[in-house]
């Protein structure tokens, strides 16, 4: 009887050791890409990797139809990942992204790409300026006390919004007109 207990305990220890070994000794892990933001000209893409503190192996495959990016974390053991733990990585393309799909090669999923400040491959600076002016009009209609304007900068026009100073102890209540108006007028030009 004593032998049976010893055998059961040994088996339990062996199983725990094997399970722990499998969990802590994985050679690599695919890393999901959480977000993709391209430069206005589409030559650089910032990727938010759902991992942090990693040792990454990045494989990029460009074709006429798509750009596939597969990211693997080479660290052994358990890894933190997800929205709470992200790292950025910038991809420099040989050609602008254009109409090509951006694919998370590790998951084989097409990514939604936003352009910053706007998609210059599809929209002209005049169209972007018109969207900025429409955003200013929208903001001022929602809250006439806000100071909003379009300013010309070294890289092109941009929006400035000053909500104004409020007396001590007071704060604005309600939706941010800048956010709502930007979603309506500017976000379509970021696609």
Task: Give DSSP secondary structure letters for 159-188.
Answer: EEEE-----TT----S--HHHHHHHHHTGG
| Domain of residue 182, residue span | 125-190
pLDDT at 56 over 50: yes
Domain presence at residue 131: yes
* Residue 169 covered by a domain: yes
List the single range of 18-22, 34-38, 60-64 with lowest mean pLDDT: 18-22
Asked if 50 contacts 88 with a C-beta cutoff of 8 angstroms, the reply is no
The pLDDT tens digits for 58-87 are 999 999 999 999 999 888 766 666 666 889
For the chain, give the number of residues: 191
The answer to whether residue 142 sits within a structural domain is: yes
Domains in the chain, number = 2
Count of CB atoms situated within 10 Å of the CB of 56: 15
* 161 and 181, same domain (yes or no): yes
Q: Are 52 and 102 within one domain?
A: yes
Q: Give the domain-ending residue among 116, 151, 175.
A: 116
Same domain, 129 and 165: yes
> Does 184 lie in the same domain as 136?
yes
Residues 111 and 141 occupy one common structural domain: no
The DSSP-derived string for 4-69 is HHHHHHHHHHHHHHHHHHHHH----EEE-EEEEEEETTSSEEEEEES-SS--EEEEEEE-SSEEEE
| 175 CB-near residues (< 8 Å, 6+ apart) | none
35 with 104, same domain? yes
Q: What is the mean pLDDT of residues 41-46?
A: 97
The predicted structure's pLDDT at residue 170: 64
Q: Identify the pLDDT of residue 15.
A: 34
Q: Are residues 102 and 130 in the same domain?
A: no
Domain end call among 116, 146, 170: 116
Q: Is residue 43 part of a domain?
A: yes
Q: Which of the four pLDDT bands, split at 50, 70 and 90, describes residue 150?
A: very high
* Residues 48, 111 share a domain: yes
**What percent of the chain has pLDDT above 90?**
59
Q: Say if 40 falls within a structural domain.
A: yes
- Does 47 map to a domain? yes
The two structure tokens encoding residue 92: 């420099």
């Amino acid at each position: 009887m004593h032998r049976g207990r010893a055998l059961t305990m040994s088996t339990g220890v062996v199983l725990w050791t094997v399970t722990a070994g499998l969990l802590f000794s994985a050679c690599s892990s695919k890393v999901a890409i959480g977000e993709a933001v391209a430069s206005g000209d589409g030559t650089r893409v910032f990727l938010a990797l759902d991992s942090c503190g990693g040792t990454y192996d990045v494989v990029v495959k460009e074709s006429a139809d798509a750009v596939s990016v597969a990211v693997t974390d080479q660290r052994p053991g358990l890894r933190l990942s997800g929205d709470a733990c992200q790292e950025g990585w910038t991809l420099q393309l040989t050609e602008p992204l254009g109409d090509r799909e951006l694919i998370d090669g590790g998951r084989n999923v097409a990514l939604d790409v936003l352009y910053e400040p706007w998609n210059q491959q599809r929209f002209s600076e005049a169209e972007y300026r018109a969207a900025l002016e429409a955003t200013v009009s929208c903001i001022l209609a929602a809250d006439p006390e806000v100071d909003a304007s379009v300013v010309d900068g070294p890289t092109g026009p941009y929006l400035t919004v000053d909500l104004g100073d409020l007396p001590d102890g007071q704060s604005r209540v309600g939706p941010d007109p800048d956010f709502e108006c930007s979603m309506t007028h500017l976000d379509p030009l970021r696609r």
